[in-house]
Amino acid sequence: MDIPNDFHNIHVVITGATSGIGFFAAQSLAKQGALVIGVGRSEEHIEQAKKRILTRNPQARLEFFLADLSSQRQVRDLAKKIAHFLETNWESKLHALINNAGTVSNWFTATEDGYELQFAVNHLAPFLLTHELLPMLRQTPESRVITVSSNSHRNMRICWKDVMFRKGYNTLAAYKQSKLANVLFTYEFNRRETKISSVKAYAADPGLVNTEIGLKGTHGLVRWIWQKRSRHGASPERIGEEIAWLAVAPEVNTSVSAYWKHGQPLQPSRYAQREVEAARLWELSERLCGINSTTVESDILGSGPLVGGA
């Protein structure tokens, strides 16, 4: 895929940029001259990623920030650091945010905010980070929000009665729901933002990729299945380049589809395009992220259906 050559004035934030497709997206964009602001949760991995990129491209423009995206406090702190960095050096302009970081957990794990880990990292973190960085995205014409989803969103619904899967945790169901949430978020973002600015959101389906995401928080049968399937996946380098292209290629703007796979627009599941479900998830996500003050107790505890039906 051809990426535009003149990238000197392009600024891109990438979460999960120290490994897998996030790393290769960062490497691809840096190679073209873009300023890449990477996010990782380990100082050691950040230094390793920077060294790998700079070894191949000594002129690469890189800045990395440390953050654990399962923590909303750290997501907000991260956004402030990015905003300060861009304001100080780059006129507060942000051309693309790539929400790539993700996780899988074999068991129910509560974050410091009290939310299920996969839902928190895979959906709420992108939702909150996008919200916090939106003022800078709005200052930049035709900027983009790319959120890495998955084909696994298909044949899945939001479990409104127990969004956090507290009553009978299922690893794959929780993962699939978080990837569905990515698509619902993308479509609802566009419905709302089109009225305000030129920022557009896209959900990227990477397909089956040979990465270690499914091996980091799993064991037993789930780990074995993930390991076996991933061997047949595409290389993370190829998919990282596709994600980088989606974030900046001019021709993407000509498509009416917000869901892309391997450089081609596709239709996500019908459920993922339902406006009622997307609006409901948006409102819940605002509450869970403290963007408004409505109580979230029943949503967190899974103690009953939310407003709007089961």
Over residues 10-33, the pLDDT tens digits come to 999 999 999 999 999 999 999 999
Please give the residue that has the higher pLDDT: either 191 or 220: 191
Distance CA 209, CA 150 (A): 10
Distance CA 55, CA 48 (A): 11
Q: Is 175 a catalytic residue?
A: yes
Question: Could you give phi then psi for residue 305, rounded to 5 degrees?
Answer: -65, 150
Distance CA 133, CA 137 (A): 7
The pLDDT assigned to 254 comes to 81
Short-list 77, 76, 103, 47, CA closest to 216 = 103
Q: Is the dihedral of CA 205, 207, 211, 217 positive or negative?
A: positive
Asked if pLDDT for residue 171 goes beyond 90, the answer is yes
Residue 264's pLDDT band, with cuts at 50, 70 and 90, is: very high
Residue 305's pLDDT band, with cuts at 50, 70 and 90, is: very low
Average pLDDT over every residue of 112-128: 98
The pLDDT assigned to 218 comes to 47
Task: Please identify, in words, the CATH class of the domain defined by 11-205+239-301.
Answer: alpha beta
Asked if pLDDT for residue 112 goes beyond 60, the answer is yes
pTM of the model: 0.88
Among 58-62, 127-131, 194-198, 213-217, whose mean pLDDT is lowest? 213-217
Q: Of residues 115, 169, 175, 271, which has the active-site annotation?
A: 175
The pLDDT assigned to 89 comes to 85
Question: Where are the domains positioned within the chain?
Answer: 11-205+239-301
- Order of strands across the sheet that contains 264-266: 61-66, 35-40, 11-15, 96-99, 144-148, 200-205, 259-261, 264-266
Contact yes or no for 208/234 (Cβ under 8 A): yes
Q: Which residue in this structure is represented by tokens 């009416």?
A: 256
Asked if pLDDT for residue 214 goes beyond 50, the answer is no
pLDDT in tens, 146-162: 999 999 999 999 999 99
The pLDDT assigned to 7 comes to 73
